[in-house]
Copies of this chain bind each other. A is one copy, B any other.
Amino acid sequence: MEYIYKCFDCTKIYGKDEIEKNLVYLCPACGKVEKNQPLRGVLLIEYDYKAIKTKFSKVNFFNYQLGKFWQYDFLWPLDSTKLSSLQTELEKISLPSNCFQKLKYLGKEFFVLNDTSNPTLSFKDRASSLVTIKALELGINKIAAASTGNAGSSLAGICARLGLSSTIFVPKNIPEAKRIQIQSYGAELVLVDGDYDLAFDICLEISSRKKWYNRNTAYNPLTIEGKKSAAYDIFIALKSKLPNYIFVPTGDGVILSGLYKGFIELQKLGWIEELPKLIAVQAEGGNAFARYMETKRFEYAPAVSVADSICAGAPRALYLGAKAIEKSSGEVIVVSDEEILIAQKDSAKEFGILLEPSSSATFAAYKKFTKQEKLQNKTALLLFTGNGLKDVSSLSKWNEKIIALTPEQIKEKYL
Chain B residues, Cβ within 8 Å of A192: 404-405, 407, 410
A327 within 8 A of B: no
For the complex, give the distance between the alpha carbons of A405 and B198 in Å.
11
Do A191 and B101 form a contact, CB below 8 Å, given A352-B157, A415-B206?
A: no
A189 to B184, CA, bound (A): 31
Instruction: Identify A205's interface contact among B158, B401, B411, CB under 8 A.
Output: B411
Q: Which residues of B contact A392 (CB under 8 A)?
A: 177, 180-181, 392
Contact call A206/B410, Cβ cutoff below 8 A? yes
Minimum Cβ distance to chain B for residue A410 (Å): 5
In Å, the complex CA distance between A191 and B158 comes to 39
Does A206 contact B414, Cβ atoms closer than 8 Å?
yes
Chain B residues in 8 Å Cβ range of A96: 96-98, 117
Closest to A65 in B: B97
A354 at interface by CB-CB < 8 Å: yes
The smallest C-beta distance from A199 to any residue of chain B, in angstroms, reads: 10
Extra contacts besides A180-B395, A184-B345, A206-B410 (11): CB < 8 Å: A88-B102, A117-B119, A157-B354, A176-B396, A177-B392, A181-B395, A186-B349, A191-B405, A193-B409, A194-B406, A201-B407
Give chain B residues whose Cβ lies under 8 Å from the Cβ of A202.
407, 410-411
Residues of A within 8 A of B (CB): 67, 88, 91-92, 94-98, 101-102, 117-121, 156-162, 169, 172, 176-177, 179-181, 183-186, 189-194, 198, 201-202, 205-206, 209-210, 345, 348-354, 387-390, 392, 395-396, 399, 401-407, 409-411, 414-415
With a cutoff of 8 Å between Cβ atoms, the chain B residues found around residue A396 in the complex are: 176, 180
Contacts of A354 in B (CB 8 A): 157, 181, 184-185
Q: Can you identify 21 A-B contacts, CB atoms within 8 angstroms?
A: A91-B101, A92-B101, A92-B352, A160-B349, A160-B352, A161-B353, A172-B404, A179-B401, A180-B396, A181-B389, A183-B399, A184-B395, A185-B348, A186-B348, A190-B405, A191-B402, A191-B404, A192-B405, A193-B406, A193-B409, A201-B407
Q: How far is the CA of A25 from the CA of B402 in the complex (A)?
A: 30
CA distance A94 to B410 in the complex (A): 35
Chain B neighbourhood of A184, CB < 8 A: 345, 348-349, 354, 388, 395, 399
In the bound complex, residues from chain B placing their C-beta under 8 Å from that of A176 are: 396
Q: Which residues of B contact A206 (CB under 8 A)?
A: 410-411, 414-415
Residue in chain B with minimal CB distance to A160: B352
Q: How far is the CA of A97 from the CA of B68 in the complex (A)?
A: 11
Bound together, the chains give a CA A140 to CA B205 distance in angstroms of 62
- Residue numbers in B under 8 Å from A403 (CB-CB): 191
Closest B residue to A109 by beta carbon equals B88
Residues of B within 8 A of A406 (CB): 193-194
Task: Give Cα A158–Cα B348 distance, bound, in whole angstroms.
Answer: 10
CB-based nearest B residue for A164: B352
